[in-house]
Structure 1
Amino acid sequence: MKYVLAIDQGTTSTRAILFDAAMQPVATEQMEFTQHFPKSGWVEHDPNDLLNTTLKTCKDVIANHGITADDVTAIGITNQRETTLVWDKTTGKAVHNAIVWQDRRTAPFCAELKAEGFESEITHRTGLLADPYFSGTKLRHILQTQDNSQNLLFGTVDSFLIWHLTEGRVHATDATNASRTMLYNIRVGAWDEVICTRFDIPMHMLPDVRDCAADFGSTTLFGGNIPILGVAGDQQAATIGQACFDPGMMKSTYGTGCFALLNTGDTLVTSQNRLLGTIAYQFNGQPTYALEGSIFVAGAVVQWLRDGLKLLANAPESQPMAEAADPEQNLYMVPAFTGLGAPYWDADSRGAIFGLTRNSGPNEFARAALESVGYQTRDLIEAMHADGAPTDGENVLRVDGGMAASDWTMQFLSDILGAAVDRPHVLETTALGAAWLAGMRAGLYPTQDEFAKTWTGETRFTPKMDGATRDAKYAGWQDAIKRTLTT
Structure 2
Amino acid sequence: MAIDQGTTSSRTCIVNQAGGLVAEARETFKQIYPEAGWVEHDPEDIWYSTQRSMRMALEKANIKGSQIRAIGITNQRETVMVWDKKSGKAIYNAIVWQCRRTHDVCEKLKKNKKEKLVTAKTGLVLDPYFSATKIQWLLKNVKGAKDKAKNGELLAGTVDTYLLWKLTAGHSHKTDVSNASRTMLMNIHRGNWDEEMMKLFQVPSSLLPEICPSNSEFGRTQGLGFMPDGIPVTGIVGDQQAALFGQACFDLGESKCTFGTGSFILLNTGTKATKSKNKLLTTIAWQLKGQKTTYALEGGAFVCGAAVQWLRDGLGLFEKSSDVENLAKSVDDTLGVEFVPALTGLGAPHWNAEARGVISGLTRGTTKAHIARATLEAMALQNVDILETMQKDLGKKLKSLRVDGGAAANDLLMKLQADYCATNVVRPKNLETTAMGAAFMAGLGSGFWNSLNDIKKVWAVDKEFKVSMTSAARKQRKARWAAALKKV
Q: Sort the TM-score into its range (normalised by shorter chain).
A: over 0.9
CA distance in 2 between partners of 1:328 and 1:298 (Å): 18
2:25 paired residue number? 29
Q: Distance in 2 between matches of 1:328 and 1:426?
A: 31
Is the Cα contact below 8 Å between 1:127 and 1:186 reproduced in 2? yes
Q: CA deviation at 1:389?
A: 4.8
Q: How far apart, in 2, do the equivalents of 1:350 and 1:363 lie?
A: 22
- Give RMSD over aligned pairs: 1.1
Q: After superposition, what is the alpha-carbon deviation per residue over 1:307-327, rounded to whole angstroms, capped at 9, x for unaligned?
A: 000111011110011011253
Is 1:276 equivalent to 2:278 in the alignment? no
Residue of structure 2 aligned with 1:228, choices 218, 224, 233:
233
Q: How far apart are 1:283 and its partner, in Å?
A: 1.0
Q: Any gaps of 5 or more consecutive residues in structure 2?
A: none
In the other structure, the counterpart of 2:215 is 213
Measured after TM superposition, the shift of residue 328 of structure 1 is 6.5
Q: TM-score, normalised by structure 2?
A: 0.96
After TM superposition, give the deviation of residue 450 of structure 1 in Å: 2.9
The aligned runs of 1:233-312 (5 Å cut-off) are: 233-284=238-289, 286-312=292-318
Q: Which amino acid aligns with 1:214?
A: S
SS at match of 2:108: helix
Aligned residue for 1:73, secondary structure, equals coil
Rounded Cα–Cα distance in structure 1 between residues aligned with 2:183 and 2:395: 23
Q: Is the 8 A contact 1:69 1:223 kept in 2?
A: yes
Q: Match of 2:173? A: 171
**Aligned residue number for residue 145 of structure 1:** 141
- TM-score of the superposition, structure 1-length normalised? 0.96
Structure 1 pair 432–8 and aligned structure 2 pair: CA distance change class (3 A): same
Matched residue SS, 1:229: strand
Consecutive unaligned residues of structure 1, counting only runs of 5 or more, are: none
Which residue of 440, 444, 455 maps to 1:436? Answer: 440
Task: Tell me the amino acid that sits aligned with residue 459 of structure 2.
Answer: W
Deviates more, 1:440-449 or 1:7-16: 440-449
Structure 2 Cα separation of the partners of residues 466 and 453 of structure 1: 36
Asked if 1 retains the 8 angstrom alpha-carbon contact of 2:334 and 2:373, the reply is no
Residue 451 in structure 1 maps to residue 461 in structure 2: no
Residues 46-55 or 278-287, more deviating: 278-287
CA distance in 2, matches of 1:174, 1:119: 25
CA distance in 2, matches of 1:326, 1:288: 43
Aligned partner of 2:201: which letter?
A: F
Equivalent residue runs for 1:389-400 within 5 Å: 389=395, 395-400=399-404
Contact 1:248/1:263 (<8 A) preserved: yes
Give percent identity, aligned residues only. 47
Q: Is contact 2:428-2:461 (8 Å) kept? A: yes
The alpha-carbon deviation at position 390 of structure 1 amounts to: 5.9
Partner residue, 1:198? 200
Match of 2:343 in 1: 337
The alignment status of 1:103 with 2:103, answered yes or no, reads no
Question: Counterpart of 1:387 in 2: which secondary structure?
Answer: helix
How far apart in 1 are the matches of 2:359 and 2:272?
A: 39
What is the letter of the counterpart of residue 254 of structure 2? M
The Cα of 1:18 is off from its aligned counterpart by: 0.7
2: CA distance, partners of 1:203 / 1:212:
21
Matched, 1:475 2:471: no
Deviations 1:205-243 (A, max 9, x none): 000001110111111313313110000000000000001
Larger displacement relative to structure 2 (57-66 or 11-20) = 57-66
Amino acid at match of 1:364: H
Q: Distance in 2 between the 1:64 and 1:402 partners?
A: 21
Structure 1 letter corresponding to 2:425: V
Which sits farther off after the overlay, 360-369 or 324-333? 324-333
Q: Secondary structure at the match of 1:353?
A: strand
**For this pair of structures, how many residues does the alignment match?**
478
Q: Which residue of 1 aligns with 2:44?
A: 48
Aligned to 2:83, the other structure's residue is in SS state strand
Q: Distance in 1 between matches of 2:336 and 2:458?
A: 42
Runs of 4+ aligned residues of structure 1 deviating over 4 Å after TM superposition are: none
Secondary structure at 1:144's aligned position in 2?
Answer: helix
Deviations 1:138-174 (A, max 9, x none): 0000010232213110100000000011000000000
